[in-house]
Every structure is written in C-alpha cells, then in structure tokens.
C-alpha cells in the first residue's frame, strides 16, 4: 500500500534526494567510498557544501553581505546562540507557540528579554497583530511557522530593529525578502534534509557588537571564517540538502513552491471546513500552509481514535496531533505531493459517509 507521509519532522523528502543520497551512501561520486566516510575537507566534499551555499543564495535571492552556514545542534542550540551573539541590553520576542517560548526562555539567561505579545491564552491559535516592537531592543525574534499549533506568518515583518527568524518548518516554502532580516535559522529536518544539520543565514556586519566573551564554537564569526568547517560538519545531511535544493531549482524555485503549497492547503482546509465531522483549530487568517491542524467537531469527538485507525488503514502516516493539542496534524511540506493531500481528503469524505 502506498504511504502518505504527513510526519511533522523528521518528515518527507523529495524522492530524488532520497535516492541520490542512498547511492552516495554506497559510493559517493565514483570515489569507491561512502559519503559517510569521506573527509569533510576532501576535494570531493568541498564542491557539495559550496554548491549548497550558492543554491541557498540563489533560491532565496540573498543579498550581498550575508553568510550561509551549516551547523550542528538544531534550532534549539540557536535559541542560545542568538542572544549570545546579539543581546547586549534588551531583546524582544513574539510568543506564538512552544518553540518561540523556548527561544524566549533561553534569551532571558543572557539579559533582559521581553515578550511583546503572546497568543498563549488562546492556546496559540492565532498570530498576535496589535503590538509594538521596542525600538531600544537589540533585535526582534519571531517564529514564522508554528508546527504544533498550525499558525504561520505569511509576510515578512517590517521591524525597526534587527529582525531574527526561526524558519525551521517553512524555509523554501515561499519567497522571502531576506534583506528584512538580520538572521534566519532553522533545523533542516522539515523542509530540507534529514535531522542533523542546521542552517543559518546571517548579516555579517551585525556580528561582534556585544561586549561579552563568546565561546569559540558559539560565535558565528568562527563558522563564517572557516566556511562551516571549524569542526566536522554534518556531511550526509548537507549532501541531502544539496539534492533538495537542486530539486527545488528544477521545479522553478520558491514562487512555484508557494503556488503548490497554497493549492495543497486550499484543498485540505476546504474539506475541513466542509466536512461536518471536523473543524480547524487555527484562526483562518493565520492558518499554516505547512502544518494543517484540525480536530473532530464536539459531537463527534468519540470518533477520534476510530478516524485515526481508519486513516492509518488507508496509508496515512503521521496524522496524530501533537500531545499538547490532540486531534490531527497534516504536515504538508514541499516534498508532499498534492496526490497525498487528495488521498487524505478522500479518506475524510469516506469516513463522513459512515456517520
């Protein structure tokens, strides 16, 4: 039976990226060695990381003056690296979910970190709109897509202070005006590569402004200076990232991905709104294109486990909502084909007919 992968992360990857990575695991570039056993400083691997950086810059139209890094530690390590490198007197955070809350918690270890707005009282089911960014802040931090609660910032914010964004789950899903950001970062395991590599896009001139001493490994300048090679980088995930970036370019880039992602979301949200058994959990204007969250309507809540089992029997994988919200979550990342979304919609319609 065909499987339809709605996992929130690690998640679906382009089939060609998986196949080419599998080949490279056996024999990379005709070297007779696996990608897992070559030197990261070898003449074979250097073109991989160099092309990955160039494709980042090309696809996102990154202006001059920014560096692209491939690091370890996941987005969670960036929660502390960001204030380590940028927080001198005060930082501002928009609290839109679990990961934004964790980023704010880490920043408070380094100095004053203020929450400019939060949707926590409504279980993070919307993106706050009416707030003021303090102009005396060293930076303003946002999480552009909230995987657990299914909300997303659909436009790039105009910030009076340097803007820093966690784009772990929606990077490359739409065009982004990188010039509006001081830094963009994210774990790769949702829209780019297997778990193990973290991407960072940072504006070089904003670094080196804090008075504190920064440990060598936690200083972005260290990794810029050595081209992400200060220590051994996650070689295999970087290779898969390159394959995904090539795939994105072959399809026409980020405008095409945005078009495809919007079509998938319209299809599934349309069925959620039509079907008497289900309802969405996020405010309509803030609904995520990446993580579509929904629950059973009140009078049908006792059917939740039954629908989960029914969907599984139809090949749906990873639909169970996060434990903090329950219900269902269909993660529709770039690599998920619209045929899988249609299969889920058909499954929902068939289940509705039973009741």
* Tens-digit pLDDT profile for residues 15-54: 999 999 999 999 999 999 999 999 898 888 999 999 999 9
What is the structure's pLDDT at 1?
Answer: 82
Q: What angle do CA 265, 146, 272 make, to 5 degrees?
A: 35
Least confident window among 129-143, 319-333, 339-353: 319-333
> In angstroms, rounded to a whole number, what is the distance separating the alpha carbons of residues 233 and 238?
8
- Annotated catalytic residue within 99, 138, 219, 320: 99
> In this predicted model, what pLDDT tens digit does every residue of 91-121 receive, in sequence order?
999 999 999 999 999 999 999 999 999 999 9
Residue 89: active-site member: no
What is the structure's pLDDT at 41?
Answer: 86
CATH architecture of 15-251: 3-Layer(aba) Sandwich (3.40)
> In angstroms, rounded to a whole number, what is the distance separating the alpha carbons of residues 320 and 278?
14
Mean pLDDT of 127-143: 97
Residue 259: active-site member: no
Mean pLDDT of 188-199: 97
- Annotated catalytic residue within 138, 190, 264, 286: 190
What is the structure's pLDDT at 323?
Answer: 82
> In this predicted model, what pLDDT tens digit does every residue of 272-308 receive, in sequence order?
999 999 999 999 999 999 999 999 999 999 999 999 9
Helical H runs in the chain? 15-26, 46-59, 74-86, 98-107, 220-225, 235-251, 254-274, 304-313, 338-354
Residues of the chain with CATH 3.40.640.10: 15-251
Total Cβ atoms within 10 A of residue 271 = 20
Q: Look up the pTM and report it.
A: 0.97
> In this predicted model, what pLDDT tens digit does every residue of 329-352 receive, in sequence order?
999 999 999 999 999 999 999 999
Residues of the chain with CATH 3.90.1150.10: 253-354
Is residue 126 over pLDDT 90? Answer: yes
Domain spanning 253-354: which CATH class is it, in words? alpha beta
> In this predicted model, what pLDDT tens digit does every residue of 226-271 receive, in sequence order?
999 999 999 999 999 999 999 999 999 999 999 999 999 999 999 9
> In angstroms, rounded to a whole number, what is the distance separating the alpha carbons of residues 154 and 305?
32
What is the structure's pLDDT at 43?
Answer: 84
Residue 2: active-site member: no
- Annotated catalytic residue within 166, 170, 219, 286: 166
Longest dimension (CA), the chain: 65
């Amino acid at each position: 039976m065909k499987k339809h992968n709605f996992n929130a992360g690690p998640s679906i990857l382009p089939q060609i990226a998986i196949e080419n990575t599998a080949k490279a695991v056996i024999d990379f570039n005709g070297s007779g060695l696996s990608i897992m056993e070559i030197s990261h400083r070898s003449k074979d691997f250097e073109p991989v990381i160099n092309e990955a950086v160039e494709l980042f810059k090309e696809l996102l139209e990154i202006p001059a003056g920014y560096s692209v890094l491939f690091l370890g530690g996941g987005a969670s390590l960036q929660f502390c690296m960001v204030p380590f490198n940028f927080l001198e007197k005060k930082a501002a955070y928009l609290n839109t979910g679990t990961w934004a809350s964790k980023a704010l918690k880490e920043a408070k270890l380094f100095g004053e970190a203020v929450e400019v707005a939060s949707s926590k009282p409504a279980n993070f089911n919307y993106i706050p709109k009416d707030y003021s960014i303090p102009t005396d802040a060293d930076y303003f931090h946002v999480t552009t897509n909230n995987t657990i609660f299914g909300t997303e910032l659909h436009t790039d914010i105009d910030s009076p202070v340097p803007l820093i964004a966690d784009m772990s789950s929606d990077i490359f899903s739409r065009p982004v005006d990188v010039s509006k950001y001081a830094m963009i970062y994210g774990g790769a395991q949702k829209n780019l590569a297997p778990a193990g590599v973290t991407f960072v896009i940072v504006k070089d001139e904003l670094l080196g402004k804090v008075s504190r001493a920064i440990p060598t490994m936690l200083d972005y300048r260290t990794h810029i200076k050595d081209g992400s090679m200060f220590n051994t980088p996650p070689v295999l995930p970087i290779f898969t990232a390159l394959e995904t970036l090539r795939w994105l370019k072959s399809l026409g880039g980020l405008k095409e991905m945005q078009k495809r992602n919007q079509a998938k979301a319209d299809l599934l949200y349309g069925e959620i709104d039509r079907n008497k058994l289900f309802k969405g959990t996020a405010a309509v204007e803030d609904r995520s294109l990446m993580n579509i969250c929904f629950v059973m309507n009140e009078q049908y809540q006792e059917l939740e486990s039954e629908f989960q089992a029914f969907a599984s029997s139809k090949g749906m994988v990873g639909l169970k909502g996060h434990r903090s919200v329950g219900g269902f979550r269909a993660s529709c990342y770039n690599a998920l084909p619209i045929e899988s979304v249609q299969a889920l919609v058909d499954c929902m319609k068939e289940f509705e007919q039973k009741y």
